[in-house]
Amino acid sequence: MTTTGHPVTARPVDAEPVPSPGPARRRRRFGPHALRNLLVAAVFLAPALLIFLAFKFIPMVRAVEMSFHEVRPYLGNLWVGLENYRTLLDSDDFLPAVWHTVVLAVGQTGGSMVVGMVLALLLEGGARHLWFIRTAVFLPTVVALAVIAEVWRVLYYPGEAGVVNSLIGWVGLGPSQFFNSADTSLWSVMSVGIWRGAPYDMMIILAGLAGVDRTLYEAAAVDGATIRQRLWHVTFPALRPVFAILFTLAAIRGLRVFTEIYLLTDGGPNGSTEVIMTLMFKLGLDRSELGVASAGSIMLLLATVVLTLAVQLARRRRADRPRKEAPSR
């Protein structure tokens, strides 16, 4: 075999492409180990999901169906379309109940957030004795509502010997009837709701305050900002997401208020504390108008969903606003 004098140049061998780890990871993610984890999670979630299905989702679907029927037990339901909704809207008790519900929701939401913010600012810190005070302040949230109702019945005793009447008597105010008067019953119930909801808001605000960057306070103090200015320009802007969550939860809690009204006043006196939930309860169980009561429940559900979506939409718009303004700068 003869060879020429020209040097043989080696051709570069193209390196084989390295396979991306993406498909391999996806294959491992859906492998036997991942399937076993999925089955374990499903086993643990199954009891809770079954309970939610039996006592929440199925009744919700059943309520939607009943809202379009005249419910007649043992006789068969009759399709009436939107007649139940018309009956409810034309009722003399519905609009006052809606107004009382809105007033309670706004008052309890704003009051509990303000009181919770004040408590959080007072109890913020790492001192050892604060854990006991926080626990004591948080107790109204975990105590049963039946116990709370009886305690406030004693405190709001309408006679001169009542605890609250004795306190306001020291400043020259006359004895109040509280739950027994149409003029003060709604505000008395609202105060109980604020007293019970403020500790819950306090704990969430405390968690939010723990995430505020302390260097911002130091920079504001160096610039000569007062305590009020530090709260307004540092603390409150940092707590906007917390306030949005609190507002949503408190507003939903206020719209669905039932137990406090039922235990304290049962909608009286003279319907001065009647709310949507107690009205639906009386329509469904006392008057046996289950279709009309279901229509009211669906309307309350829709109002709650609209409120939640509105808050979430406002949060997203506020979050997207700095991103849109950044390129223009």
pLDDT on residue 288: 86
87 — phi, psi (to 5°)?
-60, -40
69 — phi, psi (to 5°)?
-130, 155
Number of domains making up the chain: 2
- Read off the pLDDT of residues 275-296 as tens digits, 9 standing for 90 and up: 999 999 999 888 888 999 999 9
Does residue 96 share a domain with residue 48? no
Whether residue 313 contacts residue 321, with contact meaning beta carbons closer than 8 Å, is answered with no
pLDDT on residue 123: 87
What mean pLDDT do residues 140-156 have? 90
- Asked if the structure places residue 99 within a domain, the reply is yes
- Read off the pLDDT of residues 150-199 as tens digits, 9 standing for 90 and up: 999 999 988 888 889 888 888 888 788 889 888 899 999 999 999 999 99
pLDDT on residue 79: 92
State whether residue 192 is helix, strand or coil: helix
- Indicate whether 298 pLDDT > 60: yes
Residue where a domain stops, chosen among 62, 83, 107: 62
Closest Cα to residue 186, out of 127, 101, 250, 129?
101
Does residue 99 share a domain with residue 239? yes
- Asked if the structure places residue 229 within a domain, the reply is yes
State how far the Cα of 319 lies from the Cα of 329, in Å rounded to an integer: 17
Does residue 56 share a domain with residue 128? no
Does residue 54 share a domain with residue 130? no
- Asked if the structure places residue 212 within a domain, the reply is yes
pLDDT on residue 16: 52
Does residue 222 share a domain with residue 128? yes
- Read off the pLDDT of residues 7-47 as tens digits, 9 standing for 90 and up: 444 455 454 555 555 544 444 455 678 888 888 888 999 99
Does residue 249 share a domain with residue 124? yes
Does residue 47 share a domain with residue 133? no
The CATH number assigned to the domain holding 283 equals: 1.10.3720.10
Q: What is the DSSP string of 301-313?
A: HHHHHHHHHHHHH
SS3 for 30-94 is CCHHHHHHHHHHHHHHHHHHHHHHHHHHHHHHHHHHHCCEECCCCCCCEECCCHHHHHHHHCCCH
State how far the Cα of 111 lies from the Cα of 107, in Å rounded to an integer: 6
**In which band, very low, low, confident or very high, does the pLDDT at 326 lie, cut at 50, 70 and 90?**
low
pLDDT on residue 54: 92
79 — phi, psi (to 5°)?
-70, 125
Residue where a domain stops, chosen among 12, 41, 62: 62
State how far the Cα of 275 lies from the Cα of 284, in Å rounded to an integer: 14
- Asked if the structure places residue 10 within a domain, the reply is no
- Indicate whether 260 pLDDT > 80: yes
User: 30-69: buried (b, 16+ CB within 10 Å) or exposed (e) per residue?
Assistant: eeeeeeeeeeeeeeeeeeeeeeeeeeeeeeeeebeebbbb
- Read off the pLDDT of residues 208-259 as tens digits, 9 standing for 90 and up: 888 888 888 888 888 888 888 888 888 888 888 888 888 888 888 888 889 8
pLDDT on residue 328: 52
The residues near 151 (Cβ < 8 Å, ≥ 6 apart) are none
- Asked if the structure places residue 39 within a domain, the reply is yes
Tell me 232's DSSP state. Answer: I
Q: Provide the percentage of residues in the chain whose pLDDT is more than 90.
A: 32
Closest Cα to residue 28, out of 18, 16, 37?
37
Does residue 54 share a domain with residue 198? no
Residue where a domain stops, chosen among 41, 62, 83: 62
Does residue 181 share a domain with residue 45? no
Domain range for 39 is: 33-62
Whether residue 300 contacts residue 276, with contact meaning beta carbons closer than 8 Å, is answered with yes
- Asked if the structure places residue 11 within a domain, the reply is no
Residue/partner pairs of 217-223 with CB below 8 Å, 24 or more apart: none
- Asked if the structure places residue 193 within a domain, the reply is yes
User: 260-291: buried (b, 16+ CB within 10 Å) or exposed (e) per residue?
Assistant: bbbbbbebbeebbbbbbbbbbbbbbeeeebbb
Give whichever of 1-15, 94-108, 130-144, 220-234 has the largest mean pLDDT: 94-108
- Asked if the structure places residue 262 within a domain, the reply is yes
pTM listed for this prediction: 0.78
Does residue 266 share a domain with residue 212? yes
Does residue 56 share a domain with residue 106? no
Does residue 152 share a domain with residue 96? yes
